[in-house]
Amino acid sequence: MLVAGLALVALLVSSCATSATTASASRTVTFAEEPSTPPNFILPLVGASDYINANVSDFSELLYPPLYWFGQNGVPELNTSLSLAYPPVFSNDNQTVTVRLKHWIWSDGQPVTARDVIFWMNLVSAVTDPNAPTVPTPSGQTGPSWAAAVPGGFPVNIVSYAEVNTYTVVFHLNASYNPRWYLYNELSQITPLPQHAWDRLSSNGGVGNFDSSAQPRSEVPATSPPQYVPTDPGTPTTGALGVAAFLNAQSEQTSTYAANPLWRVVDGPFQLSAYTTNGYAKFVPNRAYSGPTKPQIAAFVELPFTSDQAEFAALRSGSLTIGYLPYQDIRQKAFLTKNEGYSFSPWYVMGIDQFYYNYTDATAGPLLRQLYFRQALQSLVNQTQYIKAFTAGTGTIDNGPVPTYPPKNPDVSPLEAGKALYPYDPTKAAALLRAHGWHVEPGGESTCVRPGTKSNECGAGVQAQQPAALSVVYLLGSTIEANEVAAMQSAMKAGAGIDLTVKAESYGSIGGVIYGCTPSTPCDNWQVANYTLQDTWVYFPDYLPTGGELFGCGSGSNAGDYCSNVNDANIAATHTAPTNTAETQALYRYEDYLAVQLPYLEVPNVPYQLTVYKSDLSGVVPQGIYGELYPQNYRFR
């Protein structure tokens, strides 16, 4: 009886699993994109202006997962199961790193090998070479480039790299680095690419070893494989830079995504089967996927929306499988759960929300470079009220560069975890301006009346009678940002006579102009900007929040060119700390300094979105701590 009973139970479990798999295999999951934020760049080697969740977590990573995957059941840690390689081995006083790949395969049946890692390394080394010539692109944007580039960081901190064998790569570093930091923030930037299909200089030309043809090589030692020393990227039409330019140009041709044979060779859980330039993207399972969980749904479709209202209308009709509840519609939660069969789960990520400052703007730059002026601006942002009025009581106060979510995050310093450093205080804001040479007219227009560099004067570069005025651009279609900007505009005018001229634009329009600002090439076409729905910055591919690529002088994602030698030194100390305890202490010093310095305008860190999903769909929660998606886990019950 016992044996027969167990057999019956096993048969029932098997039948249920088979039924669930069959149900999933015939059904499509639809997913709502953020308003006016369509995916528009498929190449994993992406520049700062296109390096957003819509292009990475929601798009290219479904096709081309990185070498190391981070995010484990909603926890910010290495996911060894989904990584393409085993954990790295550090030796030689942490100056040598050996990486051994698992035996994954591309969708065309070819193996993912060390050569594919070398291919990525050659391309990223070429596009980050400061001596490389400028490459023209069809769209007129600067590119190709790498958003995570930090002066002196990856890949510059690699002296050489080599294929030890088919599945092993060795990296020789220029110093002894903290292994945890190097894995989470440097090796994390590697995405193996299909060298056997992509190593081209043109669509009509054949595949070769063009990526390595401009790379000087030396045998070290004579019996070992060639060491790649990235010192000569080639030209825009030859070598690694030529290959990168070709792939970048192909990625800019969005209308060809579904048909271009380049993008059909993938190693992720899905392949792109349809795409339109407004952002519609359909993914079907990659039957050759080597990961631990194979996709079971028929397709995963990302749908574009022009506004929160349009997306919410789709939710009310029940036509979306996974969407988001706009904060202004939070009272509709009960209707969706009771009448349309949705479950509800706020999606929290390791990210911060911010309005970027343009420190290079000829007019606003001198104002924004004054700490007292940034403190006055911050004292006029009522984060507590914003959370209550605009985000349905969710979220936390942005108190510095490291988010306080997840709770008890060990990377958050006691200073940041404490009370707000700059609470809403219009009186303080006005007093700060008066103390530094301003005639303050609350409700009117404040002007600088004591120009100069003394402690009681307006500061270097601020002109006599210059008004306290700034222009602000924010994401078109985002009700949260529209509300926040309107509140700031009112409070700054009433509290300290600071004028904000505001304008809503698409993320492409904003993101296309705010990067590339430097003292030698200033950007005078924007002053303050935010171009995503919320969580302007999610910590990837630098998963430890040490801030190099975001706040380091000259870093690839440092919009507006904030630059501080003290900050750079603090960041560098997190890289070489000999122990994890020392690294944590260095991280605290870094974030405490920036928390006081206010390199950006802080607004509440709110959930990435208030996710709603069909209750008969499993695998949606826990949601990705870095904004990553796991549609290979989706199953219909």
Tokens read off for 172: 């020789």
d(CA 209, CA 244): 13
Same domain, 246 and 356: no
Establish if 236 belongs to a structural domain: yes
pLDDT of residue 634: 98
Same domain, 394 and 518: yes
Establish if 548 belongs to a structural domain: no
Domain end (from 253, 280, 298): 253
Same domain, 69 and 218: yes
pLDDT digits (tens, 9 = 90+) for 54-99: 999 999 999 999 999 999 999 999 999 999 999 999 999 999 999 9
For CA atoms 79, 84, 86, 87, the dihedral sign is negative
Same domain, 248 and 385: no
pLDDT of residue 12: 37
Tokens read off for 267: 């190693």
Q: Of 62, 44, 572, which is closest to residue 302 (Cα–Cα)?
A: 62
Q: Which domain holds residue 397?
A: 352-531
CB 623 within 8 A of CB 347: yes
pLDDT of residue 223: 41
Query: Taking all residues of the chain, what is their mean pLDDT, rounded to a whole number?
Result: 91
pLDDT of residue 536: 73
Across 226-376, where does the E strand assignment appear? 226-228, 270-275, 281-285, 299-305, 322-324, 342-347, 351-352, 354-357
Establish if 126 belongs to a structural domain: yes
Domain count, the chain: 2
pLDDT of residue 132: 81
For residue 242, report the phi and psi dihedrals to the nearest 5 degrees. Answer: -65, -40
Establish if 634 belongs to a structural domain: no
d(CA 282, CA 141): 27
pLDDT of residue 158: 96
Can you give the pTM of this predicted structure? 0.89
- Kindly tell me the burial class for residue 587, based on how many C-beta atoms sit within 10 Å of its own C-beta (0-12, 13-18, 19 or more): buried
User: In a 3-state reduction of DSSP, which class is residue 616?
Assistant: coil
pLDDT of residue 179: 96
Same domain, 248 and 358: no
Establish if 131 belongs to a structural domain: yes
Establish if 242 belongs to a structural domain: yes
pLDDT digits (tens, 9 = 90+) for 357-386: 999 999 999 999 999 999 999 999 999 999
Task: Assign residue 227 the CATH number of its domain.
Answer: 3.90.76.10
Establish if 209 belongs to a structural domain: yes
Task: Please spell the DSSP secondary structure of 357-402, one letter per residue.
Answer: E-TT-TTHHHHHT-HHHHHHHHTT--HHHHHHHHSTT-SB---SSS
Domain end (from 472, 504, 531): 531
Domain end (from 475, 496, 531): 531
Q: Per-10-residue mean pLDDT for the chain, 637 residues long?
A: 38 44 81 92 93 94 98 94 98 98 98 98 93 72 83 94 96 96 98 98 94 57 57 83 95 96 98 97 98 97 94 95 93 93 94 94 97 98 95 90 86 94 98 98 98 98 98 89 95 98 89 84 93 76 92 91 96 93 95 98 92 97 96 96
pLDDT digits (tens, 9 = 90+) for 188-243: 999 999 999 999 999 999 999 999 876 543 333 334 556 777 667 788 889 999 99
Same domain, 357 and 249: no
pLDDT of residue 13: 38
Same domain, 74 and 206: yes
Establish if 391 belongs to a structural domain: yes
Same domain, 242 and 358: no
Task: Assign residue 463 the CATH number of its domain.
Answer: 3.10.105.10
Same domain, 247 and 356: no
